Structure 1
């Protein structure tokens, strides 16, 4: 248990040093472009769904109430 605790403290100490000194490192892709990719993806998704909902002529049939009628009874 002592070895595990010592290793855990060592790992947490290394993590603290990396966090403390991480601001001097070059930025990674996510910190540079993450927000832009997220916003452009949201705009693209909204544009595609806007086109699908308005221009494709799809009949959505959201509620079947009043649209479904029973078939007439046939006696043979």
Structure 2
């Protein structure tokens, strides 16, 4: 249990140092690539959903109103 506690304390200490001193990533990454990454992700998402909606043949759960008809009631045979 001592090793686990020591490791957990070490992780929290490292996290607090990163918050205090900042991450190792350059602060210009989002300025340089943020818009491109956002647009690329949006294009990818749109392309995948377009394929799924048009090409996969999935039957979507649309409203069954007017399409589902009840089966006729089966009468039990009367015993004499």
TM-score (norm 2): 0.55
Match of 1:59 in 2: 59
Query: How many pairs align?
Result: 51
Provide structure 2 residue ranges, at least 5 long, that are not aligned to the other structure.
Answer: 1-25
Structure 2 partner of 1:38:
38
1:70 aligns with 2:70: yes
User: Structure 2 CA distance, aligned partners of 1:58 and 1:64?
Assistant: 16
Query: SS in structure 2 opposite 1:36?
Result: helix
Return the TM-score normalized by structure 1. 0.57
SS at match of 2:64: coil
Q: Which aligned runs of 4 or more in structure 1 are off by greater than 3 angstroms?
A: none
SS of equivalent to 2:38: helix
Could you list the runs of 5+ residues in structure 1 that have no partner in the other structure?
A: 1-25
Output the CA distance in 2 between the equivalents of 1:31 and 1:59.
43
- Measured on the aligned residues, the alpha-carbon RMSD in Å equals 1.6
In 2, Cα distance between equivalents of 1:63 and 1:73 = 24
